[in-house]
Amino acid sequence: MKNVVNNPKVAGVDEVGRGPLAGPVVAAAVILDPDNPIEGLTDSKKLSEKKRQQLSDEIKSKALCWAIARCEPEEIDELNILQASLLAMTKAVTQLTIQPTHCLVDGNKLPQLPCSAEAVVKGDLTEPAISAASIIAKVDRDNEMVAMDECYPEYGFASHKGYPTKAHREAIKKYGVTPIHRKSFAPVQEQLQLL
């Protein structure tokens, strides 16, 4: 197993944003450079926002290659969130400038990939390449939700990033559904049925 991890053609793959009621699901794939290690890689949710941003910049500058891909709310509604997450991961891997010979994918489900792959439960804690993917995907998605806050200031996207907090659910009830909301998710669907 060690040889596989040290092989520079191994990509770590992860996604963020399965739980939110709004915004895209974002996936990333990263092939780390074994000769250029990055300290402090772990599950993106365990890091402060500042540390995530710092590591994201470092990953992008030190990795052999990386790619970020996404599925929009319309695709999530059409496919369902699991299938949209898997599709985003497939897109991220196929966009890498170096095609991996093997992928380590966070979780217990595998997307369709052009190479061998294994699902690693809690891989963002144990596999540095998966941690790196989780970090750059989360930073990318969070930054986008902060930008969306300017378009829809009454919803508070900068603070909750689209997750179903009490404040977000109340904003949906008060102001309705935006184009970036996932219409197949229960709290959004309930609001649409009231119209």
Average pLDDT of span 27-31:
98
Residue range 96-131, pLDDT digits in tens: 999 999 999 999 999 999 999 999 999 999 999 999
Domain range for 100: 2-150
Average pLDDT of span 158-170:
97
Using a CB cutoff of 8 Å and minimum separation of 24, what contacts does 50-58 make?
52/135, 52/138, 52/139, 52/142, 53/139, 55/132, 55/135, 56/135, 56/136, 56/139, 56/140
Residue 180 lies in a domain: no
Residue 188 lies in a domain: no
**Please, what's the b/e burial string for 111-127 (b: 16 or more CB within 10 A of its CB; e: otherwise)?**
bebeeebeebeebbbeb
- Select from 184, 192, 195, 191 the least CA-distant residue to 21: 184
Residue 169 lies in a domain: no
| pTM summary value | 0.93
Residue 161 lies in a domain: no
Between strands 102-106 and 116-120, the pairing is parallel
Is 80 exceeded by the pLDDT of residue 135?
yes
Instruction: Output the domain CATH number for residue 125.
Output: 3.30.420.10
Give the burial class of 147: count Cβ atoms within 10 A of its Cβ; 0-12 exposed, 13-18 middle, 19 or more buried.
Answer: exposed
C-alpha separations of 156 from 67, 141, 172 in Å: 28, 15, 11
* pLDDT score recorded for residue 3: 41
> What end-to-end distance do the CA atoms of the chain give, in Å?
55
Residue range 70-99, pLDDT digits in tens: 999 999 999 999 999 999 999 999 999 999
- Select from 41, 70, 44, 43 the least CA-distant residue to 58: 41
**How many domains does the chain divide into?**
1
* pLDDT score recorded for residue 2: 40
